[in-house]
Chains A and B, each alone.
Chain A
Amino acid sequence: MPDTARPTLPEARVVTRRRTRLAPVWIVPLVAAAVGVWVAATRILGAGPVITIQLATAEGLEAGKTKVHYNGVDVGSVETIRLSPDHLSVLATVQMAPETEPFLVADTTFWVVSPRISGANVSGLGTLISGAYLGMAIGASKTAQRTFVALDTPPVIAGNQPGRFFVLKTSSLGSLDAGTPIYFRRLQVGQVASYALDPDGASLSVKVFVDTPYDQYVNPNTRFWNASGVDVSLTAAGLKVQTQSLLSILVGGVAFETAADAPLLPPADENATFTLFDSREDAFRAPPRSPQTYQLLFTDSLRGLSVGAPVYFRGIEVGEVAKIDAQIDAQTLRFSAPVTITLDAQRLGIQVKDLPPDADLDALRREFLDRLVAGGVRAQLQAGNLLTGALLVSFDVYPNAPPARIDWAHDPPRLPTIPGELQALENSVASIVKKLDQVPYQAIGDDLRKTLAELDRTLASARATLDNADRLVGNADRLVGNADRLVEPSSVLGAELATTLQELSRAARSLRVLTDYLEQHPESLLRGKPGEAK
């Protein structure tokens, strides 16, 4: 080309250039490589641990989409889902966020969160839209772990919720379930976390969780009771209806309370065991400390007496009926009913603390009871509730009672009784009713009717008589007029006659008024004139 160029072409200027061995453009791939390496490094280093979770079912889970949430924060996602080698469960490989590394320890738990509606609570509603996800609770262990077995049911209590667990022992679960609310003074302060049958099969351990700060109100003296539904009890003490809240009526609940007079104790330990009573009444009934068993032999009817009926001492509840039997004496062939009662020594108010520690409590109690019986204390069956006919056992002082003593030889010791007032009361009521029955109401009514009919007729004839009298008076008037003409008014006879006739006239008028009144008010014959009351 240069050779063929025409000479008129201007010549390019000469510029000497330094030849560089390596062009600066190589910075571009270096930068690209550096960025690439950096991105790769952050990706690989920031990937976080990969864990395997064993699940019962993969229902609702989707590889690549299902997330792991901890407290609502996305901390990982399910990468793959495959069957376990034994084909019995599902293994999910989960890519966790790098910051979760320290939390993946032996007791960290995972579970599937899907919509869950149980009586007390509706949870996981958000998953209706977003699909199921894996929940996570961080454990306290220090041992790192990479394979986990998911829980079958989501734990009700989040791992980091402040509060404490307690264990309640009960013979039947009733309507309790995970999530059943716990009430303290009708305030919901926690919930049932889980329950399990004890290994011996005899009772259930219900794990409950009480939130902070209410957990401090649980101390060793606290009583828990089942507040499920409406508790209606018809006892000797009357009709009682107890509920905790509308919610507890529907789904049940557990309530706890500490008796106001119980000594203040430090809060109970975590996982302390309590008895779950059936009702509040049960919970606060005599604490079963040193209960004394006695027997009472009644000869009256025990209809209305039930196991659990209260035993009163001068109106104070001191125990309850434990057992009712019936027996027939083989020798006398007389029927009697031994009633076993338990008396709570503490409620009897014996001040144990004033005694020297080495005192023989049993002997002391015997002496005390002997003295009481000598003083006339007897057991008696009494009607607790006239409406229901429920009976109760009452101890009271009967100074006129025949002397008796406690049969200490019998086991349990037999306390003296006197016949119940109820029998007497029943008898007298029966006799009154009988007497009332004998009153001849029918005859009385008939007589009364007859009398009134008679009276009616009498009044009619009285009326006729009065009419006659009226006519008589008219005749008399005429007679008097004739007499007037006959008798000179000025004469003594005339004046006498005039006065007499006036008297007679007035009497006749009175009689007329009376008959008129009687006609209008025949009842006045029986009751008198109403005006007279004034």
Chain B
Amino acid sequence: MSCPACALVSRPPRGADAGRCPRCDEPLAFRAANSIQRTWAFLIAAAICYVPANLLPVLTTTTPQGSESDTILQGVVLLWSPTGWPLSLIVLVASIMIPSAKILALAYLLLSVQRGWVANPGSRTRAYRIVELIGRWSMVDVFVDTFTAALVQLKPLMAVEPAPGLAFFAAVVVLTMLAVEAFDPRLIWDAIPAEERHA
């Protein structure tokens, strides 16, 4: 077994537990400890946060017309116009579809591992890789909003301030990333009989 920190390959000790890396003292495990449980916890937390992230306004725009708070979906509607629809689509995909897709994908992976499904382990692993890759880029939305809030301060003409929904959105992104990290993709292959794995 290899150490996740220093990549030293060591022989597993006798007994049930995997022990620690003899070189860097990193705890070793054949499978990440409580992987499924931890992933579920983060995933559920992310799902919970996903609701207010979409229901609460993410930006408060103050203009002489009064202040206006927009949720992500309202922003999508606002941007939707014959010329601006690509932008609207980007926001829709990046802010609503990707987080929900991530949550659904992880939930599917977890279920498949728990139920011991054997079909398509390769594509499931690919799905995991995609989810892992996308992870940090989901924060782009949060960055854009915070940058906007910091830059657009033309008081009293106009001011943009982050609203509570943004914090939940950030929480969704962070929690899904944690969930992805907690998930041990090796579990996908555990249910498959040993002889098939090498095929």
Contacts and interface: CB of A to CB of B under 8 A. Distances in A.
Given A1-B1, A39-B164, A131-B65, A9 B49 contact: no
B28 interface: yes
Contacts of B124: none
B22 A11 contact: yes
Contacts of B178: 28
Interface stretch (A29-37, A356-364, A374-382, A478-486): A29-37
Interface string B26-64: 011000001001100110111011011000100000001
A443 to B, nearest CB: 92
Interface in A123-179: 129-131, 133
Interface stretch (A13-21, A308-316, A384-392): A13-21
B22 A25 contact: no
A65 interface: yes
Interface in B166-186: 168, 171, 175, 178, 182
A23 interface: yes
Interface residues of B, number: 40
A232 interface: no
A36 to B, nearest CB: 5
B64 A130 contact: yes
Interface stretch (B13-21, B80-88, B115-123, B142-150): B13-21
Interface stretch (B4-12, B94-102, B104-112): B4-12
Given A13-B22, A67-B66, A130-B65, A2 B11 contact: yes
Contacts of B44: 29, 32-33
Contacts of A523: none
A15 B29 CA distance: 11
A140 B10 CA distance: 83
A25 B10 contact: no
A1 B175 CA distance: 33
A67 B68 CA distance: 10
Contacts of A35: 49
Contacts of B51: 36
Contacts of B27: 15
Contacts of B52: 36, 39-40
A130 B157 CA distance: 12
A11 B66 contact: no
A39 B56 contact: yes
B10 A32 contact: no
Contacts of A67: 66
B175 A65 contact: no
A1 B12 CA distance: 9
Given A1-B1, A12-B10, A13-B19, A36 B49 contact: yes
B13 A11 contact: yes
Contact of B34 (A23, A33, A36, A39): A23
A26 B64 CA distance: 46
Given A29-B48, A65-B68, A9 B175 contact: no
Interface string A113-125: 0000000000000
Interface string A391-403: 0000000000000
A309 B88 CA distance: 83
A20 B38 CA distance: 12
A28 B42 contact: yes
A447 interface: no
B11 A23 contact: no
Contacts of A16: 17
Given A11-B22, A25-B182, 16 more contacts: A11-B11, A12-B1, A12-B10, A12-B18, A12-B21, A14-B19, A23-B38, A23-B41, A25-B42, A29-B41, A29-B45, A29-B48, A32-B44, A39-B168, A129-B64, A131-B65
19 contacts: A9-B10, A9-B11, A10-B22, A12-B11, A12-B21, A13-B22, A15-B17, A22-B37, A23-B34, A25-B34, A28-B41, A28-B42, A32-B48, A32-B49, A32-B175, A35-B49, A36-B48, A36-B52, A131-B65
Interface of B: 1, 9-15, 17-22, 27-28, 34, 37-38, 41-42, 44-46, 48-49, 51-52, 56, 64-68, 164, 168, 171, 175, 178, 182
Closest 10 CB pairs of A and B: A32-B45, A29-B45, A12-B19, A29-B44, A9-B11, A32-B48, A23-B34, A25-B41, A25-B38, A12-B13
Interface of A: 1-2, 5, 9-17, 20, 22-23, 25-26, 28-29, 31-33, 35-36, 39-40, 43, 65, 67, 74, 129-131, 133
